[in-house]
Amino acid sequence: MRYTVKKFNTLLILLLASLALHAQSDRSAKKEEREQKRLRKISLFREIEEGENLYNREFSLGARLNTDGWTGFMELGYRKSATIVNYFQFEFSEKKHPKQDRSSYGVQIAGFYISSAPYVYGKMNNFYQAKFGLGQKRLIGGKGNKNGIEVNAIYYGGISVGLMKPYYLELMNDAGDNDNRKIVKYNDTLRTDFLNKELIYGPGGFTKGLSEIKINPGLHAKIGFRFDWAKFNDVISALEVGVNAEYYTKKVQIMVDQDSKSFFINAYVGLQLGKRWNK
């Protein structure tokens, strides 16, 4: 009987020791698994933050200030290789003549000076452009770390649809009565009144002339550099500078006393924001 109890105690001790070793081994395995997960997260975070940018899709929105106007655009990119991204871009722009200047008409009522809406003196047409094109972005220098800047050369070209819209003015009668006004666009018969600042009350309004828009097809191309300073590779925060050229099949005249032309060239600076991801 005493031998049986001793044997049972020995077996119990061995069982408890085995369970303790198993529990310790299990805790070590879980600890190791947690450590591996932590290291994988750190590695992934570093790749997103500092590593090589290899996301195969990107989308961004942006705006540019041109030496002859402004542009808004959207861009969709597809990675071709580690250093090259092909992208499609849709733009909408307005060209402004360097000679154009905004003015306003003012009247004094009950001791208060009241100004009309500002207008552009001597303007004949608004010229807008809808553009679609294909470009390529080529890596020159990577970020290196989260505080670095990715530098890319860009080259791009495509088709343009020029939209010529007559510019309307609100003119007072010959006596300068601001209660007696008419809305007109430029023609040679009205030249004297159209360019008489004493008779101009203000612009005719954006909607005037929409039904008279004329289409002027053309081509456009640009080259430049893009600087992306975003901390994370899946985010786009970029500044772009470059030169843009456009040619239209019909001559464009924006101002009354300035020559019409078909070819335009400008310098620009733009800002764009967006995201990158893997398909």
For 255-271, write each residue's pLDDT tens digit: 999 899 999 999 999 99
3-state SS class at 114: strand
Helix (H) or strand (E) holding 167: none
pLDDT of residue 46: 52
| CATH class held by domain 55-277 | mainly beta
Distances 225 to 33, 75, 157 between C-alpha atoms, Å: 45, 16, 15
- CA–CA gap between residue 103 and residue 100 (Å, rounded): 10
What are the residue ranges in the chain where pLDDT is below 70?
1-9, 11-12, 16-17, 20-26, 28-29, 35-51, 105-115, 144-146, 175-178
Q: With CA atoms as reference, report the closest residue to 58 among 80, 75, 82.
A: 75
pLDDT of the residue at 108: 52
Query: How far is Cα 86 from Cα 135, in angstroms, rounded to an integer?
Result: 6
